[in-house]
């Protein structure tokens, strides 16, 4: 075979070899990308700051530190802007509420923590040092306003919402009249209740 015939064969082999593979860190397409702005006054620390999505399995009434990190969302925290990508939906163990008919939702919050041992995940002794005023609500299926943590009907999927959640609507005023003029001083407990209330 002449060198003229060898060159096309070699080129053909080179094009077919080593097909590009995604890097080991590739996680697929994001199911949600949350826009974030990271501003921090925390000085540089050993291990550095990390940013991640944490699910509140106890709901908004749980302790702020009682959260479960969705590890694949974690990344080093750098001052600036950019999306935090979520590649997987939370499993039912992370849901904050499960109704009698099996419907529920998950509530996540974006938080910074000091990764003192540098293992790329939050350990129990690593403090949360900052979080977002936004929450991420995941509804696997549509929720009515009564079943939703935000008090608004939600379609299935991810929803950005504010923390803390808005208060429930105020109760209707009572029609009962206690025969005490508004602003009048109470002179006796039996009329006004304990300690004048």
Segment of 34-43, 112-121, 128-137 carrying the highest mean pLDDT: 112-121
167, part of any domain: no
Residue 175 lies in a domain: no
Report the predicted TM-score, pTM, of the whole model to 2 decimal places.
Answer: 0.64
- How far is 90 from 10, CA to CA, in rounded Å? 49
For residue 47, being part of any structural domain is answered with yes
For residue 66, what pLDDT band results from cuts at 50, 70 and 90?
Answer: confident
Query: How far, rounded to the nearest angstrom, does the alpha carbon of residue 52 sit from its chain's CA centroid?
Result: 8
Domain contains 83:
yes
Find the domain containing 114 and state its range: 26-162
User: How many structural domains are present in the chain?
Assistant: 1
In a domain, 188, yes or no: no
Q: Which residues, at least 6 apart from 179, have a Cβ–Cβ distance to it below 8 Å?
A: none
In a domain, 169, yes or no: no
Q: What is the mean pLDDT of the chain?
A: 73
Measured CA to CA, the distance from residue 191 to residue 51 in angstroms comes to 57
What's the pLDDT at 87?
78
Q: How far are the Cα atoms of 37, 59, 62, 113, 176 from residue 76, in angstroms, in the given order?
A: 13, 26, 26, 10, 58
Residue 196 lies in a domain: no
């Amino acid at each position: 075979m002449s060198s003229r015939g060898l060159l096309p064969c070699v080129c053909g082999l080179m094009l077919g070899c080593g097909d590009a593979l995604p890097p080991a860190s590739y996680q697929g397409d994001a199911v949600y990308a949350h826009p974030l702005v990271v501003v921090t006054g925390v000085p540089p620390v050993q291990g550095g700051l990390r940013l991640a999505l944490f699910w509140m399995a106890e709901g908004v009434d749980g302790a702020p530190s009682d959260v479960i990190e969705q590890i694949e969302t974690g990344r080093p925290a750098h001052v600036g802007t950019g999306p935090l990508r979520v590649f997987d939906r939370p499993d039912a163990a992370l849901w904050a509420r499960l109704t009698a008919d099996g419907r529920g939702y998950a509530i996540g919050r974006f938080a910074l923590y000091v990764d003192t041992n540098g293992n790329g995940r939050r350990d129990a002794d690593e403090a949360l040092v900052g979080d977002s005023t936004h929450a991420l609500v995941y509804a696997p299926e549509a929720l009515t306003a009564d079943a939703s943590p935000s008090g608004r009907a939600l379609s299935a999927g991810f929803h950005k919402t504010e923390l803390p959640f808005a208060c429930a609507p105020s109760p209707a005023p009572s029609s009962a009249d206690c025969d005490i003029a508004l602003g009048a001083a109470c002179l006796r407990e039996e009329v006004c209740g304990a300690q004048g209330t």
